[in-house]
Structure 1
Amino acid sequence: MPPKCAQDNMVPEAQGLKYSKFEMALFLTQLAWRSTYDERMASQDSNLTSVTEAQGQILKRWKALMDSEKELAGKEENFSPSVKREMAVYEWRYKRLEATMDAPQKG
């Protein structure tokens, strides 16, 4: 049996692998939201639960926008500038709500 070459043992290099920065931003945001959802909803703080619900609505609209645009654009995912701005606004709104949770509460 001939000895194996070192290159045979290597993982093949990914070629043509592309991802949308908009999809990645949505994915990471959804992941962060889901990781804190149960804890926040179980808390007695009505502000915390309302912010979590508002963030959920933002994520739902953001995903719906992205899905509809992907259908229209096909596989090329060439979003129009107005759609890119709208997705950026959803991301900003979500992060802004998250920042309110990190701010010290006065009281």
Structure 2
Amino acid sequence: MPEIHGLKYDESDMALFHAKLSFHSTIEERIASGDSNLSSIADAQSKLIRRWDMLKCMEKEMADKGKSLDPAERKQLAQYQWRYKHLEELARGQASGHKG
């Protein structure tokens, strides 16, 4: 994707942004559902987003110093993204299973 006016598109940043948006738009409904599975998924997603966000902040701080994350930390970022997506798919399956 082209960079516009010095802005850099970072796929990982966008994935985290979408995860936060998705989480905040569904958390209340999932907790209020009374479904313990949905509540557990929401709790796991909350913890995952916090860790993911911390690692992204660390990545940005290191980039400001001309450094980068080590390969294991970069792999961890990808794992957070995959795990969040997987949890979201489970939650959507749970939610649709209780409707109707």
CA contact (8 A) 1:58 1:94 kept: yes
State the aligned residue count: 92
1:21 aligns with 2:18: no
| Structural RMSD (CA) | 2.0
1:85 aligned onto 2:75: yes
Q: Which has the higher contact order (CA 8 A, sep 6+)?
A: 2
Q: Secondary structure of 2:55's partner?
A: helix
**Percent pairwise identity:** 42
Q: Which structure shows the bigger proportion of residues in helix conformation?
A: 2
Distance verdict in 2 for CA 1:77–1:95, change over 3 Å: farther
Deviation at 1:68, TM superposition (A): 1.3
Name the CA shift for 1:23/1:89 in 2 (closer, same or farther; >3 Å): same
List gaps (5 residues or longer) in structure 2.
none
Instruction: Give the TM-score normalised by structure 2.
Output: 0.78
Q: How does 1:40-59 map to 2 (within 5 A)?
A: 40-59=30-49
How far did 1:71 drift?
A: 1.1
Provide TM-score, normalisation by structure 1.
0.74
Does residue 1:97 correspond to 2:87, yes or no?
Answer: yes
For the residues of structure 1 that align with 2:76 and 2:53, how far apart are their CA atoms? 12
Structure 1 gaps of 5+ residues are: 1-13
